[in-house]
Chain A
Amino acid sequence: MANWQWFHRLGSPKWLHGTINRWLPWVLVSALVLLSIGVVWGLAFTPPDYKQGNSFRIIYIHVPTAVVALAGYYAMAIAGAVSIIWRMKVADMALRAIAPVGAAITLLGLFTGAVWGKPTWGAYWVWEDARLTSMLVLFFLYLGIMALHDAFQNRQGGSRAAAIIALVGTVNIPIIYKSVDWWSSLHQSASIKFTEESTIAAEMMYPLMVTIPGVYLLFAAAVMLQMRVQIAHSERHSRWLEKYAINRA
Chain B
Amino acid sequence: MATASYPMDGVAGQVKRPALAEYFTWSIDHKIIGVQYIVTSLFFFIIAGALAMLIRWELMTPEITVMADGSQYNTLFSIHGTMMIFTWIVPFWAGLGNYLIPLMLGAKDMAFPWLNAFAFWLLPPSGFLLILGFFIGPAEAGWTSYPPLSTIYSPDGQTLWALSIHLVGLSSILGAINFIVTIKNMRPPSMGWFQMPLFAWATLATSIIVVLATPFLAGALTLLLLDRVAGTTFFDATSGGDVLLWQNIFWFYSHPAVYIMILPGFGVLSEVLAIHSRKPIFGYRMIALSSMAIAIVGFTVWAHHMFTSLQPELRIPFMITSMIIAVPTGIKIFGWLGTIWGGRIRLNSANLFSLGFLSLFVIGGISGVMLAAVPVNIHMHDTYFVVSHFHFVLYGGSVFAIYSALYHWWPKITGRMLDERLGKIHFVTTYIGFLGTFMPQHIVGMQGMPRRVAVYDPQFQDLNVLISLFSFLLGISTFFLLYNMVVSTVAGRVAGANPWRALTLEWQTTSPPPAYNFAGEPVPFEDPYGYGTDASKAYLDAMESRFGPSPGAEEERRPPSGALPEPQPAGD
A, B bound: no
Residues of B within 8 A of A (CB): none
